[in-house]
Structure 1
Amino acid sequence: MEDAFERLSELSEGEVRVLLNDLLKLTTASTKQGDGEHKALADSDRHLYSKHVERAAKAEQRKRTVHIMFSLSDAGSLKVTLSKLGKRMENEVLAFNDCFSTGPINELVKAEGQRSRESWLSERLSGYLFNHHMNHEHKIGRMIERIAAIAGQNSIVIWCGDNAHEQVGLRFVMHLLKGRENEIRMMNGSLFYRNSLADAQGSNRYYALRLLEPELFLKMVECFEQAELLSEFDRQRYEAEWLELAQQKSKLRLWENGQIKHAAENELDKRLMDVIGKLTEDTDDGFVKAGAVVGEIWGSCTQLIDYPFIEYRLWTLISDGYLAFRGLPGAMHQYAVKLNSGRILA
C-alpha cells in the first residue's frame, strides 16, 4: 500500500483526474448494483467525495482576491507571506512559468501562437521543454483559461517590477482582462522600493520582485489592498500597448528609460565577450567556467532575462567561432569558454 501512495504522488494532475474519474464510475456502479460490503464501501466513498467537493467550494467562496505573478518562485514567496499574515485562505495566487523578455510573443492568445513560441524556445534553450512539462498548470494556455475563470466579484492584483519580462506580462494579462468589470490593482516592486525608501538616486537595484529583501516584500504584501485601482485610461493604455508588442517580430526585449525596447537576438553578445575577457585576465589558460560568465552577466545587468537564453547566446558565439570551449556541453559547470584570438565581434 505504501508503494501505491508513492506512485500516486508521482502522477501528474491530468493523470490524477483520470484515476479519480475511473474510481467514481466504479463507485457509482457499486452503489447501484452492489450489495453488502461493496455497497457500503461505495456509499462511504461517495460521501467522502461529496465532503471534499463541498469543502473545496467553500474555500473558493472565501477567496476574494486573485494575485497574478510572472514567476513560480515569486508566487511561492507571496503564498508564504500571505500565510504569515493570516490571509492565505481568501487569496488565490496564479503564476506564469514563462520569461516574456525572450522568444516570440505573437498571437499568444491562440494555440498556434503558443506552439510557435514553445517551438522557438525549445530549439534554443536548454531544458525548456522539461521545465514546461513539469509545470503544466502554469503554461500560457492553461493560465489563459484560469484567468478567464476568475469570478466577476473577485479583485485582481498584478505583481511586477521595472523589467521587460514582467512589464510585457502585465500588458498581456491586461489584454486577457479586457472588458472585465473586476477591480484591478498593480503592485510594482521597483516603484514600491523607490517610494518607501525615498531613493534619491533613482536606483534600479530592485528591478525585479525576486530581488526585494523579505522585510520589504512583507511590507509590500501588507498594503496591497490599499493600492490604487487602475483607471480605465491605464487599463486601455496597457491593452493597446500589448497589441503593439504582439505585432513585433523581436525575440529579445529590454527595459530602458521606462519603456520596453525591442532588441536583436545578439544585443547582449558584446557584453558577453567583454565579461569573458575580464574574467579570463587572471587565468593561466584563458578559460573561464560558463556558469561564472552567466552569473556575472546576471549580477551586472539590470535586465530580467532567463539564464538559458544567455547560455544560448554563449553557444551561438562558440558556433560562430568567436569563442572556444572545453569540457562537456549540457551543464554550465561542466564546460569553460575563452575568447578566440583574432576574432573580434563587430
Structure 2
Amino acid sequence: MTPNNFIVHLVQGGSAGGCLRLACKSFGLPGSVHLIQDDFSHGPLKNGPAREKYLRDCSRGYADEEEDEINTLAPWLSLSEILDKGSIKQVCIWAGENAAEKTFLEMACWYLRNYAGTIMRVGATGLEQLPYIAPQNPETLVRLFAQGQILERADRTVLVESFIQTRDEESTLRRWEAGEIISVPVDYYDSLLMERCSSQWTWAAKIVGEAMGRCDAHNLLGDVFLTSRLQYLIDQGMLQYKGERKSLRDYWLRLT
C-alpha cells in the first residue's frame, strides 16, 4: 500500500474537494487533496485566457459581488510543482460518470501524460444516488477509494486522445451520453429556461433553480452557466426583465 503522504487525490469542484478533505482528516482516507475549482462541462478547453474570459462573461447577471481573479492554469501548474518533487507515488483522480467529471478525467490524464507514477481513477462504479463525487458522504468515499481502478498506460492514452479531440473541437458545451462526451450547441438547454417562463413576472433565481432541477442525472447544469444563457435570451429579445441584472436576486423575467 502506498504511504499516506505519497498519495494525491485530484478532484474537481469545491464541494467534492471539501468532502474528500473531511474523509482524509476524520475517516482514514490516506493522502492529501488537490482541488481543481472548475466545471469542465462547458467553456473552451484549448486556451487558458479564452477560458478565463468565458468564465468571467458567464458571471454577468449572476452575482453583484466582485469576482476574484480567474487563473485556470494555476491549479494545474501547482500540481506539476508538487509532482516534480518526486515524492508523490500515486495520483488518484476522482471522476464519476457525468459530463463535467468525465471531461475532467480526460483533461487530468493529458496534464499527467508524462507522470511516471501510478494513476488511479475512483468513481467509475459504486457511486450512490447521483453519479457525481460531491454528493457522496465521507464513509462512501473511503469505500470507493478501496475499489479504485488503476489506469494503465493504454487506458491513459485513450483518455488523452479523447481529450485532445474534445479540446480541439472548440465547442462550448458538452454532454455525457452512454459513457462518451459529445459536443452539443450552446443553446442545447435553453428550452429548460424558456419552459420555466410565462407571461407573468418570475424571479430569475426561481427560473434558474427550476431549470437545474430538470436536468438529467449525468448532465447536471450549474447556476452560473444557466444564468449566462438567461442573459443571452434577454439580449436576443426573447425575454423581458425588470430590476437590475446584477445578481439573480435582483431581477424578474417574463416572455416577450
TM-score by length of 2: 0.87
Secondary structure class of the residue paired with 1:140: coil
Is the aligned partner of 1:101 residue 2:41?
A: yes
User: CA-to-partner distance for each residue in 1:117-176, whole Å, 9 max, x for gaps?
Assistant: 11222234236995543xx7xx43222222223136521110112221111111111011
Is the aligned partner of 1:209 residue 2:130?
A: no
1:293-308 correspondence to structure 2 within 5 Å: 293-302=207-216, 303-308=219-224
Secondary structure class of the residue paired with 1:333: coil
CA distance in 2, matches of 1:129, 1:118: 17
Tell me which structure has the larger Cα radius of gyration: 1
In the other structure, the counterpart of 1:154 is: 89
Secondary structure class of the residue paired with 1:192: coil
In the other structure, the counterpart of 2:172 is: 251
CA distance in 1, matches of 2:122, 2:64: 28
- Structure number with greater CO (CA < 8 Å, separation at least 6) is 2
Deviation at 1:239, TM superposition (A): 0.9
1:1-346 correspondence to structure 2 within 5 Å: 63-87=5-29, 91-106=31-46, 113-126=47-60, 130-133=66-69, 139-149=71-81, 150=83, 151=86, 153-188=88-123, 191-193=125-127, 205-212=129-136, 214=137, 217-277=138-198, 286-302=200-216, 303-340=219-256
Distance change (3 Å), C-alpha of 1:267 and 1:223: closer
Point out 4+ residue stretches in structure 1 off by more than 6 angstroms.
none
User: CA-to-partner distance for each residue in 1:206-242, whole Å, 9 max, x for gaps?
Assistant: 0322233x2xx42232441442311222111101111
Contact 2:171 2:184 in 1 (8 A): yes
Unaligned runs of 5+ in 2: none
CA distance in 1, matches of 2:149, 2:64: 37
CA distance in 2, matches of 1:211, 1:62: 24
Distance change (3 Å), C-alpha of 1:115 and 1:144: same
Secondary structure class of the residue paired with 2:188: helix
CA distance in 1, matches of 2:41, 2:221: 6
Secondary structure class of the residue paired with 2:245: coil
Amino acid in the other structure paired with 2:90: S
- Aligned positions, number: 247
Distance change (3 Å), C-alpha of 1:242 and 1:301: same
CA distance in 2, matches of 1:289, 1:128: 16
Contact 2:121 2:150 in 1 (8 A): yes
In the other structure, the counterpart of 1:38 is: none
Structure having the larger proportion of residues in strand: 2
TM-score by length of 1: 0.66
TM-align CA RMSD: 2.3
Contact 1:66 1:93 in 2 (8 A): yes
CA distance in 2, matches of 1:128, 1:308: 13
Structure having the larger proportion of residues in helix: 1
